[in-house]
Structure 1
């Protein structure tokens, strides 16, 4: 029992920054921090994202995907977007805790915190509203969402300019990259499938341009690369007594 208590205390002590920073995102909406963008006249960059998509793909990815919309696929994409985004990183941290892999746990926790923090900063430097709002009139095929109330509720909690980079892309990929070597092959397949589903959902549901997603992939790769260069992440823990 003492050993289990110590393990639980360690987990709670090291895990709390993740839900804290996720709640920090909600506070951005609650305190209407998007008003700071308007106050300082920071230019909105949706037009730039559209130009990048047109240069890379001919048109925006969400507009391309609208021709493949179906009720079943929309339901699957909604599930991936709403549930997998949290399940994948938090589930991975719990798995690493249960398998006593503290080194990877700490590396992943820092990866999540760094990815989110950097992404939030970009929201203010390069504010992007997203295709679901900015070019809503250019979609000719409705999403046929099966849970409009849930969909509207999620949208009501979103920060107004939370598109660049796509953190719904960056967080799953940073989770996958930092835990790939530690997971067994069935688990790798499941994690990869979830990551791809979340990434696709961001554009299918019209939350992100293709450029947002590419930026999310680059940001996830940069954070993962930087953390992988640390020789021993355990030396950076804030509670060395518990670790030792």
Structure 2
């Protein structure tokens, strides 16, 4: 523990002079753990194992190459490695998770929804779809990519210290979300309840829904990162960019509703997303007040 009561990796300590941020431990740890699990189940020579090992190594290389006192450009490049690693890990998980021998969790998640709510939302909403509303929900669902890119992007351009803090929480959240994918893999109601009538929609639904379906890795349901990441970024804006928070509040609420309406998530997935967003927010807040953050911010 540091003098201010923070864990050593959130406080003033660094690893042999290298300032390692909390999300680098968290996301790098997830990648390394997954590589180890794959090695035990699929073998060390399996390409999934090698891919996750390479991504883990990439996290280490990013810290080493940037050096003990990174320039602003080096910091930005080091931080931006994580969206790249996240994307590569996301699509690799689609074929990696089945190798781990974990049973699909759709039945469990559906049962939890039924137990918590007394009904299954996908079934209850099956007769309440209107084409204009489905198009609106598709637009709301796609809004996720706006907030995911332009939310942190503003801080990347305008405020490096806030950008670091933002990524500390965001990729801590992602590490927990991806871990959930490997422990409770599920395809979502649109796959597990394929007997339901298809969603009626206009041109936006007909154009974009197949694209969204194709972009899934097939295990990306619990917890809902669509909920978690957008909630985390919205809360981050509430603290640091209040005006934008009010602009994004209603679109984010529509986004969360759309995940259930479009049958991509169970309600319990959203609850899981709230939990991991809370953890990410807590880690970011602790980091922002830590001696490590003060030490880094003082150098540039």
TM-score normalised by length of structure 2 = 0.68
Answer yes or no: is 1:158 the counterpart of 2:221.
Answer: no
2:66 is aligned to none
1:211 is aligned to 268
Q: Pick the aligned partner of 2:141 from 61, 81, 87.
A: 81
Contact 1:50 1:59 (8 Å CA) reproduced: no
Contact 2:181 2:222 (8 Å CA) reproduced: yes
Worse-superposed segment, 148-157 or 158-167: 148-157
How far the C-alpha of 1:75 sits from its partner, in A, is 1.3
Distance change >3 Å, CA 48–CA 149, structure 1 → 2: same
Q: Distance in 1 between matches of 2:202 and 2:290?
A: 43
1:189 is aligned to 246
Q: Distance in 2 between matches of 1:18 and 1:124?
A: 19
Q: Distance in 2 between matches of 1:67 and 1:86?
A: 29
How far the C-alpha of 1:208 sits from its partner, in A, is 0.5
Distance change >3 Å, CA 65–CA 8, structure 1 → 2: farther
Q: Give ranges in structure 1 of 5+ residues lacking alignment.
A: 1-5
Q: Give the superposed CA RMSD.
A: 2.6
Q: Distance in 2 between matches of 1:112 and 1:189?
A: 20
TM-score normalised by length of structure 1 = 0.82
How far the C-alpha of 1:232 sits from its partner, in A, is 3.5
Q: Pick the aligned partner of 1:51 from 111, 116, 120.
A: 111
1:168 is aligned to 226
Answer yes or no: is 1:26 the counterpart of 2:91.
Answer: yes
Alignment of 1:1-244 (within 5 A): 10-29=75-94, 32-37=95-100, 40=101, 42-82=102-142, 84-100=143-159, 102-137=160-195, 139-140=196-197, 142-144=199-201, 146=203, 147-185=205-243, 187-232=244-289, 235=292, 240=296, 244=300
Contact 1:88 1:175 (8 Å CA) reproduced: yes
Q: Which has the higher contact order (CA 8 A, sep 6+)?
A: 1
| CA-to-aligned-CA distance 1:74-122 (integer Å, 9 cap, x gap) | 112112222x21211321222223432x332112112221212221111
Contact 1:143 1:205 (8 Å CA) reproduced: no
How far the C-alpha of 1:19 sits from its partner, in A, is 3.5
How far the C-alpha of 1:210 sits from its partner, in A, is 0.6
How far the C-alpha of 1:10 sits from its partner, in A, is 4.6
Q: Distance in 2 between matches of 1:70 and 1:134?
A: 22
Worse-superposed segment, 219-228 or 148-157: 148-157
Q: Distance in 2 between matches of 1:158 and 1:27?
A: 11
How far the C-alpha of 1:234 sits from its partner, in A, is 8.2
| CA-to-aligned-CA distance 1:127-181 (integer Å, 9 cap, x gap) | 12210011121x2463335343532232123112211001111110111122211
Q: Give ranges in structure 2 of 5+ residues lacking alignment.
A: 1-70
